Amino acid sequence: MRDAAQRMPRGRLRESPGWCAPPLTSATHGGILLGHGATKNPSDRTLKCDVLIVGAGFAGAVLAERIASQMGRRCTVVDRRDHIGGNAFDRYDGAGVLIHPCGPHYFHTNSDRIVEYLSQFTDWRPVEFRVLSYAGGRYWQFPINLNTFEQILGRPSTPGEMEATLARWRIPIENPKNSEEMILSQVGPRLYEMFFKKYTRKQWRRDPSELDPAVCGRIPVRTTRDDRYLSDRFQALPRDGYATMFRRMLDHPLIEVRTGVDFRDIRSAAKWNHLIYTGPIDEYYGHVFGPLPYRTLRFENETLAEEFHLPAMQVNYPGDEPFTRVVEIKRATGQKIPVTTIVREFPEDYGPGKEPYYPVPASDARAQYLRYADLAAREPGVSFVGRLAAYRYCNMDQVVGMALAEFDGLKERKPG
Ligand code: FAD
Ligand code: UDP
């Protein structure tokens, strides 16, 4: 890698659109993967298995691991993408930089049970995730904290002064009903306009007033100098990366993984005793109640012949730029290499051939989802688990928790 980097001229090295993970082979994945299923045997649609798991992300991998190791049942995991790990997957790019091709994945949780569970498959690299916001031509500490307040004042301040000032700026709204009300009730219109309004419109193509309060409410506001992006007790990355952690989870003699296989292509001919489905729930039901709304992202990667490029691991852009954030994940992974890769995220409308990265947390979408959920609740022999199947804007730890809870239920019921 060092040789490749030395051959590269200083400055901008290469721009590559989106992500282009090479197909995984059994050689790179410890023999657990059959490789690109469609390539291996394109006509093999007559899969027969005990437990069929659709999706090799957190939901599918946790359930495969639990069912194989604790129930001794044989699982076949299919994923239509060419890699395991779902959106949390990571890989080395052409310059040898470990990147998160589907957006930055900062692991954080308050659950000891979830840390203990995942620690069977990985050690951790503790990281405090720090972010800046670029607004009005300069960088601001973000999320809003005492340092941000001092930047706004242009002089030193105290938690007491910040609390008193926010009390004046805030709009008193007792039970915020949407994300606009949520932020106005915390910091008032000036900081709402500065950091939230346009960013949220870009990300969701909806006004914050049309989104659940929890969307912008995810972002903490602090009157202390705690400038971490997240507040959970445990904040870290898998020490050897997410892909390695997933590989270890799925490396079990009773688990077979087939990537490059779309459930829709095998559904009519395949046979299973129990199905675990972690894909989009509306797709499972043929969009019978109409397609649920999702947001997708386009990623633009840029590799530079510098050790680091950005002033922080993530810079948010709450202004008129067409992208929402730029991420230099190398600042979090701690990789020692003289080149770096930054990734810009451009929110886009979801459509055919795109990834449904975000369910839309809004009351109209929820009402539509509940119609699907009602069908799912009456569907025998199928577990719907994960961010897409439950149509919930979940973090990784929440999906692990959801999968472990589903496993507890399956153990009781002994399905199939
Ligand atoms: P997924 O990871 O989406 O996995 C589902 C899998 O099912 C996919 O691989 C898909 O290809 C497959 N699939 C779907 N349909 C089919 C089909 N018909 N046939 C075969 N396979 C199918 N969480 C955090 O905790 N911290 C973060 O910093 C963070 N950052 C994020 C950044 C972005 C840009 C995004 C989009 C999400 C982020 N998340 C983060 C959330 C995190 O990605 C999810 O909580 C978690 O990965 C969800 O796991 P899952 O298994 O439910 O879904
Ligand atoms: N948000 C914002 N400005 C920011 C960061 C976030 O308005 O600088 C809002 C936006 O609506 C975003 C939500 O807060 O979708 C949650 O942000 P987070 O960074 O947690 O988003 P994710 O990592 O899930 O994309």
Let me know whether 288 and 381 are in one domain. Answer: yes
Q: Which protein residue has the closest C-alpha to ligand 1 atom 10?
A: 55
Mutation probe of ligand 1 site: the residue of 292, 396, 404, 407 with most atoms within 8 A of C-beta: 396
Same domain, yes or no, for 405 and 265? yes
Same structural domain, 260 and 405 = yes
Q: How far apart are CA 52 and CA 72, in angstroms?
A: 14
Distances in whole angstroms, Cα of residue 84 to Cα of each of 131, 245, 304:
28, 10, 28
Identify which ligand lies nearest to the alpha carbon of 218.
Answer: 2
- Predicted local confidence at residue 8, as pLDDT: 30
Q: How confident is the prediction for the chain on average, in pLDDT?
A: 91
Q: Are residues 256 and 210 in the same domain?
A: no
Check if the beta carbon of residue 63 is closer than 8 Å to that of residue 246: no
Q: Where are the alpha helices (DSSP H) in 205-294?
A: 213-217, 242-250, 263-266, 281-284
Closest residue by Cα to residue 329 from 98, 148, 28, 88: 98
Please state the rounded mean pLDDT for residues 281-304: 98
Q: Is residue 189 part of a domain?
A: yes
Residue 43 lies in a domain: yes
Query: Which ligand has the shortest distance to the CA of 114?
Result: 1
The answer as to whether 171 is a domain residue is yes
Q: Answer yes or no: do 74 and 213 share one domain.
A: no
Measured from the Cα of 87, ligand 1's closest atom is: 2
pLDDT range class, residue 218, cuts 50, 70, 90 = very high
Residues ≥6 apart with Cβ < 8 Å to 412: none
pLDDT category of residue 262 using cuts at 50, 70 and 90: very high
The answer to the question of residue 194 being in a domain is: yes
Q: In the listed set 201, 217, 233, which residue is the last one of a domain according to the structure?
A: 217
pLDDT digits (tens, 9 = 90+) for 353-408: 999 999 999 999 999 999 999 999 999 999 999 999 999 999 999 999 999 999 99
pLDDT at 410: 96
Share of the chain above pLDDT 70, in %: 89
Q: Note whether 258 and 393 are same-domain residues.
A: yes
358: CA distance to ligand 1 center in Å?
9
List the domain range (segments joined by +) for residue 258.
Answer: 31-84+250-292+360-413
d(CA 243, CA 230): 23
Task: Judge if the beta carbon of residue 199 lies within 6 A of ligand 2.
Answer: yes
Same domain for 158 and 48?
Answer: no
Same domain, 63 and 203: no
Question: Is ligand 2 within 6 A of the CB of residue 230?
Answer: no
The rounded percent of the chain whose pLDDT value lies above 90 is 88
Residue at 235 is within a domain: no
> Among 25-29, 293-297, 310-314, 345-349, where is mean pLDDT lowest?
25-29
The per-residue pLDDT for 44 is 65
CATH assignment at residue 376: 3.40.50.720
* DSSP conformation letters of 346-394: EEEE--TTS---EE--SHHHHHHHHHHHHHHHT-TTEEE-STTTTT---
The per-residue pLDDT for 20 is 26
Domain boundary among 198, 217, 236: 217
- For the residues of 89-123, what is the DSSP string, one character each? --EE-TTS-EE-TTS---EEES-HHHHHHHTTT--
* Position 242 in a domain: no
The H-or-E segment that residue 299 falls in is strand 294-304
Closest atom of ligand 1 relative to the 81 alpha carbon: 11
Q: Is it the case that residue 234 has pLDDT exceeding 50?
A: yes
What's the total number of domains in the chain?
Answer: 2
DSSP 8-state code for residue 236: E
pLDDT at 254: 98
Given this model, what pLDDT does residue 46 score?
76
192 in Cβ contact with 166 (< 8 Å)? no
pLDDT exceeds cutoff 60 at 14: no
What is the pLDDT, as a whole number, of residue 27?
30
* Arithmetic mean of pLDDT, 50-70: 98
Task: Give the tens place of pLDDT for each residue, 100-130.
Answer: 999 999 999 999 999 999 999 999 999 999 9
> Residue whose CA is closest, atom 31 of ligand 1?
105
Reported as a single tens digit per residue, the pLDDT across 164-182 is 999 999 999 999 999 999 9
CA angle in degrees (0–180, nearest 5) for 122-336-95: 95
The most distant pair of C-alpha atoms in the chain lies apart, rounded to whole Å, by: 69
Quick one: pLDDT band at residue 227, thresholds 50, 70, 90? very high
65 plus 213 within the same structural domain: no
Give the per-residue pLDDT at 40.
Answer: 46
Q: How far is the CA of 347 from the centre of ligand 2 (A)?
A: 12
Give the distance (Å) from ligand 2 centre to CA of residue 120.
31
Ligand nearest to the CA of 314: 2
The answer to whether residue 161 is domain-embedded is yes
Token pair, residue 67, equals 């069912």
pLDDT of 41 reads: 53
Q: Whose CA is nearest to atom 14 of ligand 1?
A: 279
Q: How confident is the model at residue 415 (pLDDT cuts 50, 70, 90)?
A: low
